[in-house]
Amino acid sequence: MSVVIPISGVARRCLAIVALSALAASACSHDPERAKVEYLQSGNRFLEQKKYPEAAVQYRNALQQDPKYGEAHLKLAEVYENVGQMREAGREYVRAADGLPNDVTAQIKATMYLLLSGQFEEARVRAQKAVKLDPKSPDAQIALGSALAGLKDFDGALKELEEATKLDPSSAAAFAGVGNVQLARGSRADAEAAFRRAVEAAPKNPMAHLALANFLWSAGRPDDAEQSLKAAVGLDPKNMRAQRALAVFYMARGRAPEAEPHLKVLADLDTSPGATMKLALADYYISSNRADDATKLLEQIAQRKDAYAAAQTRAAAIAVAQKDPASANKDLDEVLARDPKYVPALLVKAHILAADRKYDQAIQYARTAATSDPRSVQAQYALGSYLRAAGKSDEAIEAFNEVLRINARVTAAQLQLSELNLQRGARKPALQLAEGAAKQLPRDLAVRLNLVQALVANGEVNRADALVKPLVSALPNYAPVHVAAAEVALARNDSQAARRLFTRAQELDPKGFEPVAGLATLDLIEKKPSAAVARVEQQLAKSPGDLRVHLLAANVYRASGDNAKAEQQLRAAIQQNPSDFGAYAMLAGLYASEKRLKEARESLEAVLAKDPKEIGALTLVGMLYQVEGNQPAARERYERALQIDPGAAVAANNLAFLYADEGGNLDVALQLAQTAKQHLPNSAEVDDTLGWVYYKKGLPALAMPAFERAVQAAPKRANYQYHLGLAHAGMGQKAQAKVAFDAALKINPALPGAAEALESLKTSR
């Protein structure tokens, strides 16, 4: 008995393509020239019917017969263009131009796509070829003019574009090109005249009206721009560029409801992969707090395989906003099960975890996102933010620096880096970053407040005061402004004004850290330690997991004479962030000041007896042995810590320095120093260790950059200056070595080895 299996419409189409391909291959396998032509003709028939996937298959079949078949590349480019895959279209047009060196259209198309990707020199070469092939082609002249404009040859561009207007006085594109060049030259009046001539030349061409609208908007004439945009849409309601421009105009002008009809038209017209404009409409609903409308639309979009992940991730973001993390996680887990490297879903997942203060897990998701798309500013910035929240400042600095390597104009990353540099005492870099951000966004409040802090840290109190005073008057109910003004007052030694401003900031932000830290500092200055203690204890109750509060409390307790509680807070800080050099140093200093190194070690050994894998305790025991001068015992503890966790950065750094100091295991020392550098890329201590290892290996040229970074980050550390001097001396740079040795001895006249090194330098030839 035979069984009839029903075939869906999609399946029939797939079978038709397979059958067609097989039949053509069978019929023509002996004649590749004939086969490629038949594949091309078949593709053309599908293209005429707007069956783009089928057309693409046939054009690719033709290219299998002849990879340099220009006509097939040209048609495949047209397919990509129709489905919105512009990058692929551009690539195919360039290949078509290579395969059809005498085809003017192919050369012009290739030129236009090269212009879009910023490859102006190659575009110029292609356009010149097009002009040579057909000197009477206005499109070729426009292409050449546009390429020259991209190369900043405005006179040459203007000459070519004006020639195009002569060849075709009705060419709106030519006149618009003239307008763009005149605008680039700063000739606004001439630019406007050219854009208006474009409209006169082609009054029914929506693109001419669109070009004039763009000029008028940039010239600060929004009402006139709106009329031109409406004219463009009126001439061709299905023109997606015109509809998109009008929608963007309304959104930018704060008239979002007027953008909705145009976004709906775009969503209806959109046939591009990924449902870009449909998702834009969903984003509009989300931004307008119309979650129900957004959810309904996203459910429809999610039915499309090519848009499923984007739609489902947006649905998860809506669930997060509605405080339904369970639904959000369900949606995200489904997306990530299909595509574990889908960056938007990874970032929403990280956001949910960070909101729950699960920073280590948030960091893992953000790091996966950044690895999956190394050029993603959002992923790198999110990673930096979560690292900073977890107290991993050095790794956060590296992430924010990566943001700026991708895009140097991301002001938010500059702000983060400026604040982090201020925290670690790198005042000059902090000010440079703050001033750079202020140049880009001079009126942004966060930028201005950061600049105030950086100016105060660098002693430029008058500039800071001039910046902050108008802000206090303009924003009397904004806590950060009062904090900044209080810090300026504190720098002026005006304790009364500082207390008043910090108090007002605390009233406005009862849970804020900065007002409490400022008031506690004033309490200590005014010799009121009990008041400072009361403040930090209240803050500890409000923010028990905040690393900054632990460190503040430790300082306050120590200043008030309660070293036991200071120790407790420092241990809590180390447990929260085992890579924080500052907390280790403070705790070791506390033990040394009390002459209870042995007692402290025994206490920590008791902790290790209960939990032998406690990296922080192991590392601290090693440091205490190191302070005592018991290097073998210190080395053994660091080695044990690294057996448990090869990435234990502080232990790796300290062990590398010990190995280098002893002159043995230098290759291992270098590996350890590089491990520490990988985990703590902006640590002065790590840079000094790395430089010391290179110096001990007899490589002063490699040591020099590391020592220079250490000195730049911590110029008041005498041993860093001394090491830099040794590297200069090792390279025969006596003058630079003397400067570094003098600086070291000025900071610490008793620094071992520095005076001898300086004297040796003076007596050497």
CA of 394: how far to CAs of 431, 636, 717, in Å? Answer: 18, 26, 19
The answer to whether 613 and 619 have CB atoms below 8 angstroms apart is no
Least confident segment among 291-295, 488-492, 599-603:
599-603
Instruction: Using alpha carbons, list the distances in angstroms from residue 228 to 195, 223, 224.
Output: 11, 9, 7
Burial classification of residue 612, based on how many CB atoms lie within 10 Å of its CB (0-12 exposed, 13-18 middle, 19 or more buried): exposed
With H, G, I as helix, E, B as strand and everything else as coil, classify residue 253: coil
Structural tokens at position 176: 């618009």
Give the pLDDT confidence of 549-592 residue by residue, as tens digits. Answer: 888 888 888 888 887 888 888 778 777 766 555 666 677 667 76
Residue 445 has pLDDT above 80, yes or no: yes
Q: Give the residue from 210, 140, 130, 205 showing the smallest Cα distance to 168.
A: 140
Q: What is the pTM of this model?
A: 0.60
**Complete DSSP assignment for 619-685:** HHHHHHHHHHT-HHHHHHHHHHHHHH-TT-HHHHHHHHHHHHHHT--HHHHHHHHHHHHHHSTT-HH
The winner for highest mean pLDDT among 77-81, 145-149, 314-318, 570-574 is: 314-318
What is the pLDDT at residue 293?
A: 94
Residues 693 and 314: their CA atoms lie apart, in Å, by: 50
Range scoring the smallest mean pLDDT among 174-178, 399-403, 689-693: 174-178
The pLDDT score that the predictor gives to residue 20 is: 37
Question: Mean pLDDT over all residues of the chain?
Answer: 86
The most confident of the ranges 20-34, 320-334, 610-624 is 320-334
What was the pLDDT predicted at 143? Answer: 87
- In tens, the pLDDT along 628-667 reads 888 998 999 999 989 988 888 889 999 999 999 888 789 9
Average pLDDT over residues 439-459: 91
| Residue 391: per-residue pLDDT | 76
Q: What is the DSSP letter of 304?
A: S
Write down the domain spans for the chain.
578-698, 716-765
Q: Quick check: 681 pLDDT over 70? A: yes
Tokens standing for residue 615: 């990296």
State how far the Cα of 224 lies from the Cα of 216, in Å rounded to an integer: 7
Would you state the structure tokens that stand for residue 744, as one six-digit string? 């070291």
Instruction: Please report which confidence band the pLDDT of residue 282 belongs to, taking 50, 70 and 90 as the band edges.
Output: very high
Mean pLDDT of 121-135: 91
Nearest one of 256, 260, 265 to 238, comparing CA atoms: 265
Tens of pLDDT, residue by residue over 513-545, are 889 888 888 888 888 888 888 888 888 888 777
Cα–Cα distances in angstroms (integers) from residue 197 to residues 141, 189, 201, 479, in the given order: 18, 12, 6, 54
22 has pLDDT over 60: no
Q: Per mean pLDDT, which range of 245-249, 365-369, 502-506, 605-609 is the poorest?
A: 605-609
Q: Residue 173's pLDDT is what?
A: 83
Is the per-residue pLDDT at 29 higher than 50?
Answer: no
Q: What region, left, alpha or beta, does residue 494 occupy, with left being phi > 0 and alpha being psi -120 to 50 degrees? A: beta
**How deeply is 186 buried, as exposed, middle or buried, from its count of CB atoms within 10 A (0-12, 13-18, 19+)?**
exposed
The residue among 666, 585, 656 whose CA lies nearest residue 623 is 585
CATH (residue range 578-698): 1.25.40.10
Task: Say if residues 556 and 524 touch (Cβ distance below 8 Å).
Answer: yes
Q: How would you classify residue 50: left for phi > 0, otherwise alpha for psi between -120 and 50, otherwise beta?
A: left
Q: What is the Rg, in whole angstroms, of the alpha carbon atoms belonging to the chain?
A: 34
pLDDT at site 27: 42
How many Cβ atoms are within 10 Å of 185's Cβ, its own excluded?
Answer: 15
What is the pLDDT at residue 24?
Answer: 43
pLDDT score, position 7:
34
pLDDT > 70? residue 15? no
